[in-house]
Amino acid sequence: MKRFDAAGADLVPGQRVRVRVTQQHSWGVMVEILGHESISASIDGAAIDSPSGAGRAWLGEYPAVGTEVDAVVQEIRRWSPLAWVRLTIRSQDLHSFQWLCDFCGTPTVLSPGGDGVVMDVRSADGPGSHAIATHRECLRSRLHESSSEHARVDSVGRR
């Protein structure tokens, strides 16, 4: 079976990437992720720092078309073709990206060294996947006591 959700499989929320702005819109910008040009990606105006200090950037404050900037993967949608990546370029997210834990609902840090992990949920029945973000401890506490996976959850992604 051909799985369309394989596109961007090496991208995870919290990961830092380099992007090039390709279009500006009233809601935000379209970008291409360098090294992943076949995947659609965007940055909402609310995920762009406003130079004027407003809560969100407005059209005149967006990065210009052709500009390359660092970004953080915020969310990956692989529910139906094509995969879509939402990014953020807010300075606080570039420093330490947080997302709500899908188990307890409180923020977890998905940046390297943080307390969060991301799981891809897939089915053998067909294509499509969904990423779940969680605290390591929330995931660990939901594993069966006899599972040997506790140690793996504690160590995955750590050097």
CATH number of the domain bearing residue 85 = 2.40.50.140
Residue carrying the six token digits 């499989």: 9
pLDDT tens across the length of the chain (159 residues): 566 656 677 899 999 999 999 999 999 999 999 999 888 999 999 999 998 888 889 889 999 999 999 999 999 987 777 788 999 999 999 999 999 999 999 999 999 999 999 988 887 777 777 889 999 999 988 887 767 776 667 677 766
Report d(CA 128, CA 45) in Å as an integer. 27
Q: Which residue has the tokens 């090496």?
A: 10
Q: Is the peptide bond before 59 cis (omega within 30 degrees of 0)?
A: no
> What is the biggest distance separating any 2 CA atoms in the chain, rounded to whole angstroms?
56
Q: Report pLDDT for 150.
A: 66
pLDDT at 88: 97
CB 13 within 8 A of CB 118: yes
Residue 7 has phi, psi (to 5 degrees) of -65, 125
Give the E-state strand segments of 6-159 in sequence order.
16-25, 28-33, 36-44, 68-78, 84-88, 98-100, 107-109, 116-123, 126-135
pLDDT score, position 86: 96
pTM, to two decimals: 0.86
- Give the side-chain half-sphere CA count within 13 A for 18: 5
Structure tokens at 86: 């939402």
The Cα–Cα gap between 62 and 45 comes to 8
Domain extent for 50: 4-155
pLDDT of residue 159: 63
How many structural domains does the chain have?
A: 1
